[in-house]
Chain A
Amino acid sequence: MTDQVSNEITTHEINSHEITSHEITMVEAVTLALAHEMRRDPDVVILGEDVGPNGGVFRATQGLYEEFGFKRVMDTPLAETLISGMTIGMAGYGLRPVAEIQFMGFIYACMEHLVSHASRLRNRTRGRISCPLVIRAPFGGGIHAPEHHSESTEALFAHVPGLRVVIPSSPQRAYGLLLAAIRNDDPVLFLEPKRVYRIERQTVVDNGQALPLDTCFTLRQGSDMTLVSWGASIRETLIAAELLSEQGVECEVLDLASIKPFDFKTILKSVKHTGRCCIVHEACRSFGVGAEIAAGLAEHALLDLKAPVKRVTGFDTVMPYFKNEHYYLPSEQDIVTECLSLMKF
């Protein structure tokens, strides 16, 4: 597999800026990307609850208040509608705000703003005003949190025309995709899978290189099965691919990353190659993003499919509490079982 991201473990000078390399977790990669972009572009501002001196409840904005001051890193009151309203106003007037909604479970108060205004600003003004905002929100379950802290409702936002939804799955991709989201002129919902915030360290070079949006990432190549997933589920998907490999089934693993719009071409190419597809997402099954991918494959890959397109997902309920979470979350064994049945179809 080609490593498309440079990863030198040396530091060197370019102009007056040192390009450094860091062994960091995903949440630290978010901080790194925010810091980089705030240094590069004075229009980038941050707002949210506890993002200032506290550095964010997940420490995602740690150190930014100290470096950039209270005018660029703003603590807001506990009012999500205020956050989204301010963000849209700032974006409309030329700033590049990166707002934090502390948990995705609190974002629904913002929906009116996001759906009726942020996503439509360009359309409504016939192109005169854009809304280049980013709303960051930790999402997903598996961290033993109470209700409203484990949501995976990316499908709700993916359904809204004019909104982008981006979900990283690794520190390197979090860095590159967040940079892309901030630089993009569209409103972007950047959902961070908190279950894997600190689960692994990767080498991330702080070179300001953004990854492309609207593109899948091929994490593993194979010719028997295409596995499509995103966010924290990528972890289980990769483990399942290894387990399946031991049983002679070689999986191709695609990280969707850009949920909306998504790169259907890559998925189609892969399915034409393998003939089988299994989509894995933590979000509940019905009307989820997986259904959209499956419909696309039925439409464009019918003659190439050797088996129906299946989805391994969470259940159609709210994330259960604590120790029952592992029943809800799609496990690597769930994925393996489904894939093996597809191989036998």
Chain B
Amino acid sequence: MKYFKLPDLGEGLSEAEIVEWHVKEGEHVEEDQLLVSVETAKAIVDLPSPVSGKVVACFGEFGDVLHIGDPLVEYDSPSEDTGTVVGEIPESTPASPPTDKKSSKRKKQASEDSSKTSSAGTNDQFIIGSAHASSRSNSMGQSKATPSVRALARRLNVDIDSVRGSGPEGRVLAQDVESSARVDQERGQGEQLRGVRRTMAKTMTASHQQVVPVTIFDVADVHKWEEGEDTTIRLAKAIAKACKKEPALNVWFDGEHMTRRLCSQVDLAIAVDTEQGLFVPVLRDINNRSLKDLRKGLDRLRQDVKSRTIPPSEMLGATITLSNFGTMAGRFATPVVVPPTVAIVGAGKMHEDVVVHKGSAEIRRVMPISLTFDHRAVTGGEAARFLEIILESLSKRQVK
């Protein structure tokens, strides 16, 4: 408090006359200590000091008449002198958000923390200039387009990220959006690939980018086969036998790190064509299973694929692949090797053909076989020997 002013003495009185001063200028006073006695029309009133402090000035002398609000005593409190002839400058309220449960908890925390440091001052944290090192935009990977072009794309129901931009630096222009919309209209909107079709597109792309494929074509003599022989089982058994003799085609190859992993077990991926697309379930450990067991396994796989109950784990981890496309049509093919495996056997349509057998022309049942191998990991010799074993196994009447 800077000034103690003559307070309202009540009873409708507005003036008082100074009768006696009890303190001097320069004197220190305590709260409630008697400062001055004043006389009103009704009585003599003693005025105590409302605060403790040093008296700097006393206003008025014996006999002076003062009105309510006139200063009587000035205290020495320099921090109170904030100046301004007009207006009220708000003081020292800390900037804090309105109280709710969360922030009151935080404030409590803050007040506990601040008790360790000076409560009067805070340190202002700021960065001179920008907090970002580069001026690069944050919208990397998204199409660049002005807001009006984006709005146009929304109106025409075009996915702007799938439109190729012909503007500067690949920016998508209105005409790009419009021609995309026109294509959609004329030829139907592009169907987003999902599920097995999507997987197939991705797998084939990856294969094309990594594998160095070479295909060897030959024909197996299956004339001795009995009626109703299961082609897939025969092929599986043939592949198993070949893998045993030529393990180089039953490996996992990592082209980036240049590693080759010889797989002890033969897990055969079998390409199955369905309405939804290409499924490639895996028949596990074909080397060590009996014919009956393999049959059961294969039937179960076929059933699961048909009823679409095949779990994704059943389609992982193959070491070599079989594509029996010949059930429909086609003889020779260049089937695609699926990394990290290095070989795929393609069996064409079994048919009767005129072949040379023991010196003379005969009509015999044959099956065309195409073997594609990844020449990064497999040599021509290994592949040829592998194929030889397959042909030899297929030519038998029966296998165990």
- Say whether B129 contacts A266, CB under 8 Å: yes
The reply to whether the CB of A113 lies closer than 8 angstroms to some CB of chain B is no
The reply to whether the CB of A200 lies closer than 8 angstroms to some CB of chain B is yes
Shortest CB-to-CB span from A282 to chain B, Å, is 15
- Say whether A217 contacts B88, CB under 8 Å: no
- Say whether B84 contacts A1, CB under 8 Å: no
A103-123 interface bits toward B, Cβ cutoff 8 Å, 1 = contact, 0 = none = 000000000000000000000
Known interface pairs A143-B88, A239-B95, A332-B97; A275-B139 also in contact (CB < 8 Å): yes
The reply to whether the CB of B259 lies closer than 8 angstroms to some CB of chain A is no
Shortest CB-to-CB span from B12 to chain A, Å, is 30
The reply to whether the CB of A265 lies closer than 8 angstroms to some CB of chain B is yes
- Say whether B90 contacts A143, CB under 8 Å: yes
Shortest CB-to-CB span from A329 to chain B, Å, is 12
Complex: how many Å from CA A274 to CA B131? 12
User: Which chain B residue shows the least CB distance to A243?
Assistant: B97
A284-318 interface bits toward B, Cβ cutoff 8 Å, 1 = contact, 0 = none = 00000000000000000011110000000000000
Q: Which of B80-106 contact A (CB under 8 A)?
A: 81-97, 102-103
Q: Which of B145-160 contact A (CB under 8 A)?
A: 145-147
Complex: how many Å from CA A272 to CA B144? 13
Residues of B within 8 A of A9 (CB): 118
- From the candidates A23, A55, A263, A270, name the one contacting B121 in the complex (CB within 8 A): A23
Q: Which of A103-159 contact B (CB under 8 A)?
A: 142-146, 149
B7-29 interface bits toward A, Cβ cutoff 8 Å, 1 = contact, 0 = none = 00000000000000000000000
- From the candidates B83, B94, B103, B130, name the one contacting A55 in the complex (CB within 8 A): B83
* Max chain A Cβ within 10 angstroms of own Cβ: one of B84, B102, B124, B139: B124
Residues of B within 8 A of A25 (CB): 92
- From the candidates A5, A199, A252, name the one contacting B90 in the complex (CB within 8 A): A199
User: Which chain B residue shows the least CB distance to A198?
Assistant: B91
Known interface pairs A172-B124, A203-B122, A305-B147; A218-B87 also in contact (CB < 8 Å): no
Complex: how many Å from CA A180 to CA B91? 27
A1-32 interface bits toward B, Cβ cutoff 8 Å, 1 = contact, 0 = none = 11111010100000000000001110000000
Q: Which of A216-253 contact B (CB under 8 A)?
A: 216-219, 221, 223, 235, 238-239, 242-243, 246, 252
- Say whether A272 contacts B135, CB under 8 Å: yes
Complex: how many Å from CA A26 to CA B126? 16
- From the candidates B83, B123, B130, B131, name the one contacting A59 in the complex (CB within 8 A): B83
A203-225 interface bits toward B, Cβ cutoff 8 Å, 1 = contact, 0 = none = 10000000110011111010100
- From the candidates A173, A200, A211, name the one contacting B95 in the complex (CB within 8 A): A200
By the criterion of a CB under 8 Å from any partner CB, how many residues of chain A are at the interface? Answer: 67
Residues of A within 8 A of B118 (CB): 9, 23, 203
The reply to whether the CB of B361 lies closer than 8 angstroms to some CB of chain A is no
User: Which chain A residue shows the least CB distance to B127?
Assistant: A218
- Say whether B87 contacts A144, CB under 8 Å: yes
- Say whether B144 contacts A217, CB under 8 Å: no
- Say whether A202 contacts B124, CB under 8 Å: yes
The reply to whether the CB of B125 lies closer than 8 angstroms to some CB of chain A is yes
- Say whether B89 contacts A58, CB under 8 Å: yes
Residues of B within 8 A of A221 (CB): 131
Known interface pairs A57-B84, A149-B87; A201-B135 also in contact (CB < 8 Å): no
- From the candidates A149, A201, A270, name the one contacting B130 in the complex (CB within 8 A): A270
The reply to whether the CB of A262 lies closer than 8 angstroms to some CB of chain B is no
- From the candidates B89, B121, B125, name the one contacting A198 in the complex (CB within 8 A): B89
Shortest CB-to-CB span from A244 to chain B, Å, is 10
- From the candidates B82, B88, B125, B128, name the one contacting A144 in the complex (CB within 8 A): B88
- From the candidates A4, A58, A170, name the one contacting B127 in the complex (CB within 8 A): A4
Complex: how many Å from CA A5 to CA B125? 8
A-B contact count (CB 8 A): 151
- From the candidates B96, B128, B138, name the one contacting A4 in the complex (CB within 8 A): B128
A164-204 interface bits toward B, Cβ cutoff 8 Å, 1 = contact, 0 = none = 00000011110000000000000000000011011111110
Residues of A within 8 A of B90 (CB): 142-143, 195, 198-199
Residues of A within 8 A of B103 (CB): 242, 246
The reply to whether the CB of B132 lies closer than 8 angstroms to some CB of chain A is yes
By the criterion of a CB under 8 Å from any partner CB, how many residues of chain B are at the interface? Answer: 44
User: Which chain A residue shows the least CB distance to B85?
Assistant: A57
Known interface pairs A217-B128, A239-B95, A266-B129; A304-B82 also in contact (CB < 8 Å): no
Residues of B within 8 A of A304 (CB): 137-139
Complex: how many Å from CA A300 to CA B103? 38
Complex: how many Å from CA A201 to CA B92? 7
- Say whether B138 contacts A275, CB under 8 Å: yes
- Say whether A217 contacts B127, CB under 8 Å: yes
Shortest CB-to-CB span from A212 to chain B, Å, is 6
Residues of A within 8 A of B130 (CB): 216, 218, 265-266, 269-270
- From the candidates B91, B123, B126, B132, name the one contacting A203 in the complex (CB within 8 A): B123
Complex: how many Å from CA A4 to CA B129? 11
Residues of A within 8 A of B132 (CB): 269-270, 272-273
Shortest CB-to-CB span from B324 to chain A, Å, is 53
The reply to whether the CB of A278 lies closer than 8 angstroms to some CB of chain B is no
- Say whether B131 contacts A171, CB under 8 Å: no
Complex: how many Å from CA A24 to CA B91? 12
Shortest CB-to-CB span from B89 to chain A, Å, is 5
Known interface pairs A145-B86, A199-B93, A239-B95; A303-B146 also in contact (CB < 8 Å): yes
Shortest CB-to-CB span from B69 to chain A, Å, is 20
User: Which chain B residue shows the least CB distance to A196?
Assistant: B90
The reply to whether the CB of B120 lies closer than 8 angstroms to some CB of chain A is yes
- Say whether B120 contacts A201, CB under 8 Å: yes
- Say whether A212 contacts B128, CB under 8 Å: yes
Residues of B within 8 A of A275 (CB): 138-139
The reply to whether the CB of A88 lies closer than 8 angstroms to some CB of chain B is no
- Say whether B82 contacts A219, CB under 8 Å: no
In addition to A2-B127, A266-B129, A272-B135, 4 A-B residue pairs with Cβ atoms within 8 Å of each other are A1-B125, A170-B126, A246-B102, A270-B131
Chain A residues in contact with chain B, CB under 8 A?
1-5, 7, 9, 23-25, 54-59, 142-146, 149, 170-173, 194-195, 197-203, 211-212, 215-219, 221, 223, 235, 238-239, 242-243, 246, 252, 255, 263, 265-266, 268-270, 272-275, 302-305, 332
16 pairs, A vs B, C-beta closer than 8 Å: A7-B123, A57-B83, A58-B84, A58-B89, A143-B90, A149-B86, A171-B124, A172-B126, A173-B124, A200-B122, A219-B126, A239-B96, A268-B135, A272-B135, A303-B144, A303-B146
Chain B residues in contact with chain A, CB under 8 A?
81-97, 102-103, 118, 120-132, 134-139, 144-147, 171
